[in-house]
Amino acid sequence: MQELSPKYIESLEIPSKAKKIYWDAIIKGFGVCVYPTGRKTYMFRYSLHGKKESMALGDVLNVKFKAAKEAAKTLRARVDLGENPAQDRKDRRAEAAAVRSGPSVADLFHEYMTDYAQHYRSAGTIKGDHSCFRTHIEPNLGGLKVDSIQFSHINKLHKSLEDTPYRANRVFELLYGMFKLALQYGYTDHNPCKGVKKYKEKKRNTFLKPEQIKELVLYLDNHSNRTSAMAIKLMLLTGCRYNEVIQAEWSEFSLEQNTWHIPAGRTKSKRDHKVYLTEEIRAILDEMRAGNDSGYVFFNADTGTYAKRIDKFWYRTRDKLGLKNVRIHDLRHTFASVVISNGYDIKVVKQLLNHQDISSTDRYSHLFQECQEQIAVDISKTITGNVVPFKKTG
């Protein structure tokens, strides 16, 4: 074995039968393969995790020796760092081939949204899915063909989001649903999401304290942006979800029956939901009705439809009141906490929040346990304060 050079390579004899490889004495794995036909090619060979890999670096007649040697040096360094350049090359070629045939992942997303999501997913979930696709899926997988996507593609994207487990799981759930549809449509013969493990999520149970609720209500009552302020207040008073409130239509309200009927098509649980109107809620409706001839309770005259960017108003409000990281959805949690602190049980919360099953309401069970002691004290005081002490006779 000696150091390869242009002169040495030129002097190599042509084998009569099988090809013969001459290895470089300096760069481990760098060699020249000489064929019986007289053809000579540069190559690089290495072992990684017990598996041998080979890479062609070009024909001696077409690739200059210096370029081949530099390429071998780079590859050697990558292998020494634990990388697998041969597999990376295969992946790149597979992705390039995938671009040339079949529906792309971007095409699949649009089909999924049209054929499935619009019929079975809530407006909030659809909005989140669009964000997940635009931010994470499209830049990484959008241009690839559906039948080329493997477990490694999904797992790599999932791991890249490990610092944001909640977001990672939402992206994964969207991809799982998309490829479930692709399997039904015959675009692929497997779901590449199978085997990917979701990250553990820490449930965010943020509730406003009584003094924070009082300060928030006072701020909303006195804010000049009446539409946004009253929309936020209605969320707090009813525990209804963001989209259920901002898309509320006058036709859903019956002042005679004192109810707000939210149709199944607008609820996350896909079930009708009836909300009873309190004096405070009716006051909000009266204010929003004044000068509003549209079909929406919270109307934006500039856009001609319902007020869509009330979330931005909330971000400014929470910053103003020092409610850092409190989400709009946490107003729903706050409503539930107030219900429980007033002595009502989990089943009542389930009904008021229109949860499909009790498991969704279980997150509030610890609040019920915390207030049980106070409930017991209140009941005892009520009984002992109203029952006449028993007197012995005879």
Q: Which two tokens stand for residue 30?
A: 């760098």
Q: What is the pLDDT of residues 148-177, one digit of tens each?
A: 999 999 999 999 999 999 899 999 999 999
CATH of the domain at 135: 1.10.150
178 within a domain of the structure (yes/no)? yes
> Which band of pLDDT confidence, cut at 50, 70 and 90, is reported for residue 366?
low
Are residues 138 and 26 located together in one domain of the fold?
no
296 within a domain of the structure (yes/no)? yes
Are residues 131 and 78 located together in one domain of the fold?
no
CATH of the domain at 64: 3.30.160.390
Domain span holding position 23:
6-85
Q: Is the pLDDT of residue 387 over 50?
A: no
The highest-confidence range among 94-103, 296-305, 384-393, by mean pLDDT, is 296-305
CB 30 within 8 A of CB 24: yes
244 within a domain of the structure (yes/no)? yes
Q: What is the pLDDT of residues 84-112, one digit of tens each?
A: 999 888 888 777 665 556 789 999 999 99
Chain position carrying tokens 């707000």: 260
Are residues 167 and 306 located together in one domain of the fold?
no
Task: Say what percent of the chain tops pLDDT 70.
Answer: 87
Task: Work out the mean pLDDT of the chain and round it to a whole number.
Answer: 86
- The amino acid that residue 85 corresponds to is P
pLDDT at 102: 76
Q: pTM of the full predicted structure? A: 0.54
Are residues 371 and 228 located together in one domain of the fold?
yes
Number of independent structural domains in the chain: 3
Are residues 177 and 217 located together in one domain of the fold?
no
Q: If we measure between CA atoms, which residue out of 228, 390, 394, 214 comes closest to residue 317?
A: 228
Mean pLDDT of the 40-44 span: 95
Are residues 150 and 14 located together in one domain of the fold?
no
CB 188 within 8 A of CB 182: yes
